[in-house]
Structure 1
Amino acid sequence: MISGMGVRRAIESVGLVLGQDVSVIIHDDDLSYMKNGEDVPIFTATRSSVREAGRLAAEMLLALIADPSAAPQHRLMEAELIIGQSTGRALDHRQRRKG
């Protein structure tokens, strides 16, 4: 979220419009001390639960301690996509060449 804010400032400082001229997607926009807009998020973001990742990592570590000879484990956690104002429709490549 914090790096996204810096990217937004840089985009706007050169006269471009976030979500129209440049699309930006950030990861994990859910910070308790900093919200990603109110009704409509400012940034499009992927979100995953740090708490859930920590819980799964602890379970895997405890299982490995209990049985060091066990096969390695792999867990895939899905991320949620939150659509915000920082992304827009991609321009046709022919339109970009004209500009």
Structure 2
Amino acid sequence: MSERRLLAWLQQQVAAGLPAIAGTRVTASVPLQVALVNELIAEALADATTAAPQRAAATPTAIDATALLRHVRSVRVEAAPGVITLDVALAIGE
């Protein structure tokens, strides 16, 4: 499957509520280096200052993050020197 077809399939799945993986439960612990978190925040802030039409044109193939977030059941953040850990629980189709 090409990258373009995979992305189109993922977009369709997200828009439809992820029916291909309905009933899935995921619990994950994701350690992130502070430098990566800072980079993501800087990019988000830069995107927020970009005019909306430019953002839309720049990311026409993006997956709808809002649709994905509705599956998040809990998030816990823990900080230690140099690392931020996200404990995330997801439930699909519930």
TM-score by length of 1: 0.22
- Please identify which structure carries the higher helix content: 2
Query: Which has more radius of gyration?
Result: 1
- Please identify which structure carries the higher strand content: 2
TM-score by length of 2: 0.22
